[in-house]
């Protein structure tokens, strides 16, 4: 397959499940820090924290750095009853690396420290007030969740919060200032983005804070990235000050491409979305947004993706499409074999914005990206449940001279795959398939127009096919 030396989404191997990824550049390598889902898991964030890194000049070459913090290192968690939720990392004034995290049983912020960005991180303490009271435990404190951090000089800005729609007990995203010891509060929490009950009349109305705070600075402007009450989108707000005066900016990315109207109707979902978490970073003069997608028909097996973005002259960011080639320097090569887990669009005639792990997924009604065997097995992912009308889309390819298209499928299906270059475009050709308990290859003479194209495969027929790969010749 054309896997080597091209950048794909997801950018990590298909058997790795890291949501909530926060990217940073340390020593000319991009490191990501996220929570860690389990394939076919029954809850969020069941695995230990790990990190991966890549050289700044080759975002296709990701290296596993290993476990950086075990869930059993949480206090009184030898039975792993508490999971490690989305973390963030910053480099302190002492040159060491600090990871901030909240576990699933306590609404307080823990901190661990390492001499290396690749860990291992050892427990350091809890974020606390000057009198030693732990943030989140004092009367009147709101619960702490999803910490994000930015260090400037001897001050570290900490952003936290989780606010469900309609919950008046939670006011919004909080900003807290820590002193040079990276733990002690020197400015108490203040609300910078309102929750849904308090958003009316503000610039955030309709896009109030839900979860997933992240913070970056570009020139003299602070960018607060967060997940809105819509869940599937990452929004941003800007301010010239790190703890006040934030104004809503817009949506950066949606993990179902909602409100994108460049290639389809704005309100048509093109993937099965869900919660979202990530951030923005500039790598070698190119800005990217990091986010995650949902797989396996559940909310609990999420994967890390990235797309190129542009920060305009006026500081705004336009919403970008989900693609299969986000980390790549341009479109993918228009020849050879590609695995179908690279699909950036996946849908059927019955539309759904959100991944639903109780209804249609249990009945195998919707297509889903999945894998064989168990979590940790290095099995290349594929698409299951390709029933009649199910469509998988891949963007983008630099096509030249393609005259044949092949696919690899298995399963109890009898029908054909239609091939298009747009989701609702002309059918360029059809590839018949039949029943098979093992992977089998089929192909047809199909001419793909020269140029940069998307590729869409729609199944028409009886039964349900699994779809492993496609080949361009």
Q: Which residue has the tokens 């290095």?
A: 378
Stated length of the chain: 473
Six-digit token string for 382: 């594929």
Which of 326, 282, 215 is CA-nearest to residue 30?
282
d(CA 380, CA 124): 38
Q: Are 46 and 82 in contact (CB under 8 A)?
A: no
* Conformational region of residue 363, where left means phi above 0, alpha means psi within -120 to 50, and beta covers everything else: alpha
Establish whether 181 is a catalytic residue: no
Which of 452, 350, 440 is CA-nearest to residue 398?
452
Q: Can you tell me whether residue 340 is helix, strand or coil?
A: helix
Q: Are 6 and 328 in contact (CB under 8 A)?
A: yes
Q: Are 38 and 266 in contact (CB under 8 A)?
A: no
DSSP assignment letter at 42 = S
Give 230-235's long-range contacts (Cβ < 8 A, gap of 24+): 230/254, 230/258, 231/273, 231/274, 231/275, 231/276, 231/354, 232/256, 232/258, 232/273, 232/274, 232/275, 232/276, 232/353, 232/354, 233/258, 233/259, 233/276, 234/276, 234/277, 234/278, 234/289, 234/291, 235/207
Concatenate the DSSP letters of all residues of 406-468 into one string: EEEEEESEEEEEEEESSTTS---EEEEE--EEEEEEEEEE-PPPSEEEEEEEEEEEEE-EEEE
- The catalytic residue among 211, 233, 257, 307 is 211
For 361, other C-beta atoms within 10 Å of its C-beta total: 18
Query: In degrees to the nearest 10, what's the CA dihedral of 218, 239, 261, 461?
Result: 80
Establish whether 211 is a catalytic residue: yes
- ω into 236 cis (within 30 of 0): no
Rounded to 5 degrees, φ, ψ at 343 are: -60, 130
d(CA 273, CA 352): 8
E strands, 219-295, are 221-228, 233-239, 247-254, 279-283, 286-294
Query: Could you list the active site residues?
Result: 20, 211
């Amino acid at each position: 397959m054309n896997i080597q030396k091209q950048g794909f989404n997801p950018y990590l191997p298909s058997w790795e499940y890291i949501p909530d990824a926060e990217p940073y550049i340390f020593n000319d390598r991009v490191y990501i820090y996220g929570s860690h889902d389990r394939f076919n898991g029954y809850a969020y964030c069941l695995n230990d924290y790990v990190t991966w890194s890549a050289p700044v000049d080759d975002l296709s070459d990701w290296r596993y750095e290993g476990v950086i913090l075990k869930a059993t290192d949480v206090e009184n968690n030898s039975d792993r009853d508490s999971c490690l939720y989305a973390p963030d990392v910053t480099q302190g004034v002492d040159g060491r690396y600090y990871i901030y995290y909240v576990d699933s049983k306590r609404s307080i912020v823990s901190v661990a420290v390492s001499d290396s960005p690749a860990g291992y991180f050892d427990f350091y303490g809890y974020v606390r007030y000057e009198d030693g009271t732990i943030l989140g435990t004092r009367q009147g404190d709101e619960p702490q969740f999803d910490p994000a951090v930015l260090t400037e000089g001897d001050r570290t800005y900490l952003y936290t919060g989780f606010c469900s729609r309609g919950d008046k007990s939670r006011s919004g995203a909080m900003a807290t200032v820590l002193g040079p010891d990276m733990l002690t509060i020197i400015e108490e929490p203040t609300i910078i983005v309102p929750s849904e009950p308090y958003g009316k009349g503000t610039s955030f109305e309709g896009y109030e804070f839900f979860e997933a705070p992240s913070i970056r600075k570009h020139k003299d402007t602070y960018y607060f990235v967060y997940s809105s009450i819509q869940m599937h989108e990452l929004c941003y707000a800007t301010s010239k000050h790190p703890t006040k005066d934030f104004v809503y900016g817009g949506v950066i990315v949606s993990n179902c491409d909602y409100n994108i109207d460049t290639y389809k109707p704005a309100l048509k979902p093109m993937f099965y979305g869900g919660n979202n978490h990530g951030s923005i970073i500039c790598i070698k003069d190119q800005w990217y947004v990091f986010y995650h997608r949902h797989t396996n028909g559940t909310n609990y097996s999420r994967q890390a993706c990235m797309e190129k973005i542009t920060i305009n002259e006026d500081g705004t960011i336009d919403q970008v499409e989900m693609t299969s080639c986000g980390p790549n320097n341009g479109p993918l090569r228009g020849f050879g074999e590609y695995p179908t887990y690279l699909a950036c669009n996946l849908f059927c005639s019955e539309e759904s914005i959100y991944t639903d792990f109780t209804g249609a997924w249990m009945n195998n009604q919707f297509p889903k990206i999945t894998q064989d065997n168990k979590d940790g097995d290095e099995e290349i992912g594929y698409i299951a449940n390709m029933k009649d009308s199910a469509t998988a889309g891949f963007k983008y390819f630099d096509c030249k001279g393609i005259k044949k298209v092949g696919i690899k499928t298995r399963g109890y299906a009898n029908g054909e795959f239609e091939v298009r270059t747009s989701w609702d475009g002309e059918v360029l050709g059809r590839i018949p398939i039949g029943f098979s308990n093992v992977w089998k290859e089929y192909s047809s003479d199909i001419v793909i127009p020269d140029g940069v194209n998307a590729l869409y495969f729609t199944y028409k027929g009886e039964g349900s096919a699994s779809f492993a790969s496609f080949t361009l010749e």
